[in-house]
Amino acid sequence: MEFSFTDEQTMIFDTAEAFLGEVAEVASIRKSMETNTGYDPSAWDRLCQEMYWQAILIPEDNDGLGLGAVELVGILERMGKKLYNGPFASSAAVTLALAKWGSGDQKSTYFARLMAGESATIAVIDQARAWSAEGVSAQAVQTDEGLRISGKYRFVQHGHTANLILVAARAPGSSGQDGVGLFLIDADAEGVIRKRVPTMDQTRPLAEVQLESVLVQPEQCLGCVGNSAPALAQLLDIQAILVTAEQLGGAQASLDMTVDYLQERVQFGRTIASFQAVKHKCADMMLKVEASRSIVYYAACVIDEWLSDRYDANQLAEAASMAKAYSSDAFFFVAGCGIQLFGGVGITEEYDIQLYFKRAKATETFLGGGAAHRERVAQMLLAGEC
Amino acid sequence: MKLSFSAEDEQFRNEVAEWMANNLCGEFEPIRFRGGPGDEHSFVEERKAWEQKLAEGGWTAIGWPKEFGGRGASIEQQVIFNEEYARAGGPGRVGHIGETLTGPTLIAFGSEAQKAKYLPGIRAGKELWCQGYSEPSAGSDLANVKTKAHFDDAQGKWVLNGQKVWTSLAHESEFCFVIARTDPASKGQKGLGFFLVKMDQPGVTIRPIPQLTGTSEFNEVFFDDAVCDADDIVGEPGDGWKVAMGLLGFERGVSTLGQQMLFQSELDEVVRIAKRNGAADDPAIRQRLADAHIGLRIMRYNSMRMMSGGEDGSLQKEAMIYKLYWSSWHRNLGKLAMDVLGPEAELLEGEPYELNRLQSLFLFTRADTIYGGTNQIQRNLIAERALGMPREPRGAN
Ligand SMILES: Cc1cc2nc3c(=O)[nH]c(=O)nc-3n(C[C@H](O)[C@H](O)[C@H](O)COP(=O)(O)OP(=O)(O)OC[C@H]3O[C@@H](n4cnc5c(N)ncnc54)[C@H](O)[C@@H]3O)c2cc1C
């Protein structure tokens, strides 16, 4: 048991900070969020080709860097700080799914594509509030040529630009945990229709993806067709943990920029940072940021343990729900207090705190907010006889 | 960063568990799970005997360096020890102030003579300590202490006069560490000394203060020409503040781990009751139970992060949230416990004012956000020291 970063990790994080400082200054985020892709493709290319970040989780046997989830989460935290808007988190979640369940052939094929700069995402549900196997409505129908998938997916991160989409679909007539499969679909396959949807948080592009009788071959099935409900749950947990890392970074940045502002703004002949009501609010904000950091890095360690089969799906679920519940609420609290402490300028388009505030809400509702995840923790806590 | 323990550490875990199973039994059976916060007054003599039993087994002061009788245990091993101690139902440690505060302070700031004089008694579990910081006019504003110490050449001793208040376990302790003013003309943080004072002497009077729980764990302590030896001052006259603050750093260190295991057993009890009495069907209670569970796990990782920092008791910035975090969590648990009990929470175990464990928890956790620096003071500290915001202005007096 060890709860500090190694020198190598610290070095990776410093490098990440420097790189993101170069490609993800807020001015360039604001610029790219207005484009069709919603992010800067040239920065993405550099991220893949110069930083090799798509290779972080890929084992050395597959020519990757063979690093772990702690490194990944550290980078995501720094991306969250900068509101980085490229398709990194969703690609990383797909990479983890491949690492866990992919066949040897799938790994060599898809890892190579990801490292070459392709991006990936995950498409699961159509209805809001249904982030689970129960919520899967797309159907995978057996035909003579193979399985054909049809259905609509909403809330797909970067779904309009991703090269590879990991989708969930179920056997006709099945429901609940039954009949669910996971499939790797090429975005340019016939029958894939996607469009970006306008979002309140402009830094987090979402798309609607429609599959119309898209043909999949056996080698595109991830894991066991029909029995993938448990894998899907784990996939959503992984994705949730990666979101919490971005939330942590966003919360930290919100606190930092707020304190900086407070130190400069003068009212009543003193900086507003000197008012105790303001100081105490900032102390509460910092407490939540640090507590969030503790649970997010714990959850990162759990991903590593889970990848190497030392922790099971329940432990992953608990970690994911603890982290998602706490970090969602923490980020929203910190960004919300931030706006209040900025005063009138907090309501302007010009100041950045509003972008973080929107990001807080967007990442909170995505994959379930505090209440939903606490209820999930409660179920685990209260299970069994007394 | 990793969650698993090494094989060596797991071996250590077995050793602790085995020792606890073989020793916390027989005459010590009644004190299992007793003597925690709110329950300090119970089984004091038995817990003193237990402290010595622990010492014989080499299980006191395990984090101290070997040369002072400790085991030089790693952070991991201290975590493990605290976990297994609590799992086995180890009672509240009467020696914790000496072991976790006096000891590390003397090791960091004390003279060789002081180490030789005091560390063995603490290590052996025979000499208990209390903390003489607060005074009637020096609460949050600790630097306002008025107790005076002057060196009496005739006796060759330091002589102390003044009053301390809220001194926990003074009535059970052999020694007290006292901050007192060595320079009578001084004010604030300057001119203070840090003294090691024997409690059993004519110049020391201890008066217990009844608490809202009906018990008394804290006291008033009066010094009327109380004395200590010439070399019972830690550091030089004038160094008192530095030493006192160094000690507070230790207060927020490893000593908090055992406490967390206790919190866990309290939460477990609340969960058990909620399942039994149907409170667990209430969605609002479910949210709060889950929140408490998440909060406690976070506390654990907070402390792991904190302990991976400076070993000299110096605090990283993020460690400054620790007290505010745990005190607020624990206070909320006390309230949750009552809400889970519902109207049953009102009914006492017996006359005259016999509280059950959760009732004591509810009442006593209101103190958690006060002692050791109130929540407001913690927020001042976080804002000023960790976030670099302006300091509170002082009044004219
Ligand atoms: C159970 C218990 C055990 C204790 N054990 C010990 C012990 O063993 N040894 C020891 O030395 N002391 C002990 N204490 C004393 C404890 O440290 C003090 O009670 C504490 O520091 C607060 O001081 P006070 O009680 O004088 O409150 P005050 O300082 O009078 O505070 C009253 C209120 O004012 C607020 N306040 C004060 N200053 C500020 C400020 N600058 N900004 C904002 N708000 C402020 C406080 O937060 C608090 O809410 C114990 C206390 C308790 C309750």
Q: Which residue has the tokens 């809202």?
A: B212
Both B133 and B77 in one domain: the answer is no
User: Beta strands A206-216 and A221-222: pairing type?
Assistant: unpaired
Rounded CA separation B47/B382 (Å): 36
Please work out whether the CB of residue B376 comes within 6 Å of at least one atom of ligand 1. Answer: yes
Would B391 be classed as within a structural domain?
Answer: no
Chain B residue numbers with beta carbons less than 8 Å from the beta carbon of A262 are 389
Answer whether residue B75 shows pLDDT above 60: yes
Any catalytic annotation for residue B318?
no
**CB of B269 less than 8 A from some CB of A:** no
Both B161 and B268 in one domain: the answer is no
Would B392 be classed as within a structural domain?
Answer: no
User: Beta strands A192-197 and A206-216: pairing type?
Assistant: antiparallel
Evaluate whether A310 touches A319 at the Cβ level (below 8 Å).
no
Contacts 24+ apart (CB under 8 A), A338-345: A338/A254, A338/A255, A338/A257, A338/A258, A338/A285, A340/A281, A341/A258, A341/A261, A341/A262, A341/A272, A341/A278, A341/A281, A341/A282, A342/A258, A342/A261, A343/A265
CA gyration radius for chain A?
Answer: 21
SS3 A64: coil
Look up the domain containing B44 and give its range: 7-94
DSSP 8-state secondary structure symbol assigned to residue B155? T
Would B306 be classed as within a structural domain?
Answer: yes
Chain B residue numbers with beta carbons less than 8 Å from the beta carbon of A283 are 321, 324, 378-380, 382-383, 387
pLDDT (tens digit, 0 to 9) for every residue of chain A, 386 residues total? 678 899 999 999 999 999 999 999 999 999 999 999 999 999 999 999 999 999 999 999 999 999 999 999 999 999 999 999 999 999 999 999 999 999 999 999 999 999 999 999 999 999 877 899 999 999 999 999 999 999 999 999 999 999 999 999 999 999 999 999 999 999 999 999 999 999 999 999 999 999 999 999 999 999 988 899 999 999 999 999 999 999 999 999 999 999 999 999 999 999 999 999 999 999 999 999 999 999 999 999 999 999 999 999 999 999 999 999 999 999 999 999 999 999 999 999 999 999 999 999 999 999 999 999 999 999 999 997 65
Question: What single-letter amino acid sits at A147?
Answer: L
3-state helix, strand, coil in chain A (%, to 5): 55, 15, 30
Both B68 and B177 in one domain: the answer is no
Instruction: Calculate how far, in angstroms, residue A275's C-alpha sits from the geometric centre of ligand 1.
Output: 21
Rounded CA separation A8/A6 (Å): 5
Chain A residue numbers with beta carbons less than 8 Å from the beta carbon of B276 are 386
For chain B, how many structural domains are there in total?
A: 3
B118 versus B309: the higher-pLDDT residue is B118
Both B229 and B263 in one domain: the answer is no
pLDDT at A219: 95
DSSP 8-state secondary structure symbol assigned to residue B90? P
H helices present in A205-312, as ranges: 229-264, 276-307
Catalytic residue among B83, B99, B127, B251: B251
Q: Residue A279 is nearest to which of B2, B318, B383, comparing CB atoms?
A: B383
Nearest atom in ligand 1 to B392's CA: 41
Rounded CA separation A345/A285 (Å): 20
Both B282 and B166 in one domain: the answer is no
Q: With the C-alpha atoms ordered B113, B118, B121, B124, is the resulting torsion angle positive or negative? A: negative
Both B219 and B267 in one domain: the answer is no
Would B1 be classed as within a structural domain?
Answer: no
Q: What is the CATH classification number for the domain harbouring B64? A: 1.10.540.10
pLDDT at B262: 84
Q: What is the CATH classification number for the domain harbouring B359? A: 1.20.140.10
Would B119 be classed as within a structural domain?
Answer: no
Rounded CA separation A331/A323 (Å): 12
Both B325 and B205 in one domain: the answer is no
Helix (H), strand (E) at residue B162: strand B157-168
Instruction: Calculate how far, in angstroms, residue B392's C-alpha sits from the geometric centre of ligand 1.
Output: 17
Both B88 and B16 in one domain: the answer is yes
Sorted by sequence, the CB contacts under 8 Å of residue A124 that are 6+ apart come out as A131, A135, A136, A153, A167, A168, A232, A236
Helices then strands, counting H and E runs in chain B, come out as 12, 8
Does the distance separating the beta carbons of A300 and B294 come in below 8 Å? no
User: Which of A36-40, B162-166, B242-246 shows the lowest mean pLDDT across its residues?
Assistant: B242-246
Does the distance separating the beta carbons of A294 and B301 come in below 8 Å? yes
Q: Which residue has the tokens 């030392």?
A: A310
Q: What is the CATH classification number for the domain harbouring B215? A: 2.40.110.10
Would B172 be classed as within a structural domain?
Answer: yes
pLDDT at B78: 87
Sorted by sequence, the CB contacts under 8 Å of residue B275 that are 6+ apart come out as A382, A386
Mutate-to-test residue for ligand 1 from B100, B213, B360, B374, highest number of ligand atoms within 8 A of CB: B374
**CB of A325 less than 8 A from some CB of B:** yes
DSSP 8-state secondary structure symbol assigned to residue A36? S
Both B362 and B262 in one domain: the answer is yes
- Search chain B and give the residue with CA nearest A322: B294
Q: Phi, psi at residue A357, to the nearest 5°?
A: -60, -45
Residue whose CA is closest, atom 2 of ligand 1?
B371
Answer whether residue B249 shows pLDDT above 90: no
pLDDT at A1: 65
As given in the structure block, the two tokens for residue B371 are: 């002692």
Evaluate whether B130 touches B169 at the Cβ level (below 8 Å).
yes
CA gyration radius for chain B?
Answer: 21
Domain termination site, one of B71, B94, B117:
B94
Closest CA to A325 of A359, A287, A376, A374: A374
Q: Which residues pair with A121 in a beta bridge?
A: A165
Q: How buried is A220 (Cβ within 10 angstroms: 0-12 exposed, 13-18 middle, 19+ buried)?
A: buried
Rounded CA separation B227/B155 (Å): 9
Both B159 and B194 in one domain: the answer is yes
Please work out whether the CB of residue B392 comes within 6 Å of at least one atom of ligand 1. Answer: yes
Would B168 be classed as within a structural domain?
Answer: yes
Both B66 and B154 in one domain: the answer is no
Does the distance separating the beta carbons of B1 and A9 come in below 8 Å? yes
B5 pLDDT tier (thresholds 50, 70, 90): confident
Rounded CA separation B344/B254 (Å): 36
A330-350 pLDDT per residue, tens: 999 999 999 999 999 999 999
Please work out whether the CB of residue B121 comes within 6 Å of at least one atom of ligand 1. Answer: no
Q: Which residue has the tokens 């894991």?
A: A223
Distance set, CA B346 to CA B172, B271, B355 (Å): 31, 19, 10
Beta strands per DSSP E along chain A: 120-123, 139-142, 147-157, 164-170, 180-186, 192-197, 206-216, 221-222, 266-267, 270-271
Domain termination site, one of B238, B260, B292:
B238
pLDDT at B313: 46
A359-373 burial code (b ≥16 CB/10 A, e <16) = bbbbbbebbbbbebb
Q: Residue B271 is nearest to which of A255, A274, A382, comparing CB atoms?
A: A382
Q: How many CB atoms lie within 10 A of CB A286?
A: 26
SS3 B61: coil
pLDDT at B312: 47
**CB of A263 less than 8 A from some CB of B:** yes
**CB of B325 less than 8 A from some CB of A:** yes
Instruction: Calculate how far, in angstroms, residue B105's C-alpha sits from the geometric centre of ligand 1.
Output: 22
pLDDT at B254: 60
Please work out whether the CB of residue B370 comes within 6 Å of at least one atom of ligand 1. Answer: yes
Would B244 be classed as within a structural domain?
Answer: no
A121-160 pLDDT per residue, tens: 999 999 877 899 999 999 999 999 999 999 999 999 999 9
Rounded CA separation A53/A43 (Å): 12
A356-378 pLDDT per residue, tens: 999 999 999 999 999 999 999 99
DSSP 8-state secondary structure symbol assigned to residue A323? H
Evaluate whether A328 touches A362 at the Cβ level (below 8 Å).
no
Q: Write down the ipTM of this complex.
A: 0.96
Domain termination site, one of B206, B238, B270:
B238
Closest CA to B188 of B255, B122, B154, B137: B137
**CB of B332 less than 8 A from some CB of A:** no
As given in the structure block, the two tokens for residue B193 are: 């000394």
If contacts are CB pairs under 8 Å, which of residues 34-53 in chain A contact chain B?
A: none
Q: Which residues pair with A147 in a beta bridge?
A: A142, A216
**CB of B385 less than 8 A from some CB of A:** no
Altogether, the residues listed in chain A come to a count of 386
Q: Phi, psi at residue B117, to the nearest 5°?
A: -75, -40
Answer whether residue B310 shows pLDDT above 70: no
Walk me through the domains of chain A, giving residue ranges and CATH numbers. Answer: 7-118 (1.10.540.10), 121-222 (2.40.110.10), 229-382 (1.20.140.10)
Distance from the A138 Cα atom to the nearest Cα atom in chain B, whole angstroms: 32
Q: How buried is B161 (Cβ within 10 angstroms: 0-12 exposed, 13-18 middle, 19+ buried)?
A: middle
Both B262 and B227 in one domain: the answer is no
This prediction's pTM: 0.95
